[in-house]
Amino acid sequence: MRKTVLGLAMLALAGCAADRPPPVPERASPYCPDPPVIPVNAQGVLLPPPILVGGAVDWETNFATQLQFSVAQPATLAGKWPETAQGLAQLVMLGNGFARDFRFQTLPAFGTLSMQQGVQALRASLGIPATLADAEVAGALLRTECALWRRDRVAAQGALAQVASVADALERIAPQSNATPQIPTATAAAAAQAIRAMQLQEQRRRP
Domain that holds residue 129: 58-205
Please report whether residue 41 resides in a domain. no
Please report whether residue 44 resides in a domain. no
**Residue 46, strand partner residues:** 40
Please report whether residue 30 resides in a domain. no
Please report whether residue 108 resides in a domain. yes
Q: Please give the pLDDT value at position 11.
A: 38
pTM (2 decimals)? 0.87
Q: Model confidence over 152-182: pLDDT tens digits?
A: 999 999 999 999 999 999 999 999 988 999 9
User: 200: helix, coil or strand?
Assistant: helix
Q: Model confidence over 1-47: pLDDT tens digits?
A: 443 333 434 334 434 444 554 444 568 999 999 999 999 999 999 99
Closest by CA to 80, choosing from 157, 150, 174, 171, is 174
